[in-house]
Structure 1
């Protein structure tokens, strides 16, 4: 077969495993040794009960008729990133502020773009979350 000794041994091993698996499946199906032949009779009767089919109809989702006035707001076209203050194109070098807008290098600081984000409250919440209050009982209960 034009194989090296290692590949030939692997092929022989795989063939032996396949034969072993096939014989074990035959023994499980037939309930005995694979050499004895099948135990099941050649003619078997299969009783099939008839099952009533029930048709289940799913209603499609309601679609608004064209006569009804439905306010559909189209999504704004995503354009290039621009500074929220001076509208200068910033591209990949823009700075995202905590207020949710993007700014250029000149307007990146909160005092330069009239930022509405409350830094003090955010810092207080972060400190309170990082350092929970732990109180021990003053007197041991007897």
Structure 2
């Protein structure tokens, strides 16, 4: 029964009329036209991601903070230093700001890091050492 399905199918021409045969798995396109179609779709997705911008909604007067809608940035190449574009391979250093650097630019002073180490340290200390309050003796008497 399955053999009849495959034998009855006649070859179809490419949907772009380029003269080659297409297949149902490639949207009735030949391999060359399908590759071009995929590249166009990929380029359209990249251009859409490049146009992404952070959108801020206005603050409301009653003290609520503004909602921030973040659209992901275009991913940078993970095997190159972000400062000097030197190829780092497996020896790259990932900074807390989320970018990969070479051995020269791995220190925050060398690449102008935007990560706030001071605030992160304060937050870590606050989590590790919770505030301890003694009982009020006056309420027990």
User: Rg bigger for which structure?
Assistant: 1
Structure with the bigger percentage of strand:
2
Structure with the bigger percentage of helix:
2
TM range (shorter): 0.3 to 0.5
